[in-house]
Every structure is written in C-alpha cells, then in structure tokens.
Amino acid sequence: MENLALVAAGIVFGLGALGAGIGNGLIFSRTIEGIARQPELRGTLQTTAFIGVGLVEALPIIGLVLAFILMGRA
C-alpha cells in the first residue's frame, strides 16, 4: 500500500463517473419522456438536454483532472 495516490485517483474518478452516469441518465430519461409527450418540441428538448449534460459533467471532469494530477504525482 505504498502508493495511496493511485488508489485515491481510482476512487476519485470512479465516484465521478458514477455521478456523471446517474446524472446524464436522469437528464436523458426526462428528455425522452418529454419528446414522447410532445414530439414537436424535440429540437428544444435536445438542446436543453445537452446544456444539462455540459453542466452535470463539470464536477466529474474536474475529478478526472484531479485523478490525472494524483497519477502524475504517484
């Protein structure tokens, strides 16, 4: 267990990926539901969904950068 930095990198990125996956899944499930209810709003809903993805994935990607820093330090 000398290299705790590598374990930390794994944990950081793993939890971040979990958060990104769940967040994106929630966003797109509601988007699909909305498109199913009102097909003419498809363009607007898709655009809003991608804005949501850009926001939700911010913190997991910051976690990814942190994981790279930790890996480089190991």
Partner 1 sequence: MDHLAPVIEIGGIPFDLAAIAMILITSVIVFVIARLAVRNLSVENPGKMQNFLEWLVEFVQGIIGTAMDYRKGRIYLTLGLALIMYIFIGNMLGLPLGIVTEVSASHPTIFGQELVVPAGGHHEGVLHVAWWKSPTADAMSTMALALTVIVLSHVQGLRVNRRHYLKHYLQPWWFFLPINIIEQLSKPLTLGLRLFGNIYAGEVMIAVILGMGVAGIPFLMVWQGFSIFVGTIQAFVFTMLTMVYIAQNTVHEEDH
Binding residues vs partner 1 (CB under 8 A): 50-51, 53-55, 57-59, 61-62, 64-65, 68, 72-73
Minimum gap (Å) between residue 38 Cβ and partner 1: 18
Helix/strand/coil (H/E/C) assignment for every residue in the chain? CCCHHHHHHHHHHHHHHHHHHHHHHHHHHHHHHHHHHCHHHHHHHHHHHHHHHHHHCHHHHHHHHHHHHHHHHC
Minimum gap (Å) between residue 20 Cβ and partner 1: 12
Nearer of residues 36 and 65 to partner 1, judged by Cβ: 65
Minimum gap (Å) between residue 48 Cβ and partner 1: 9
Nearer of residues 14 and 54 to partner 1, judged by Cβ: 54
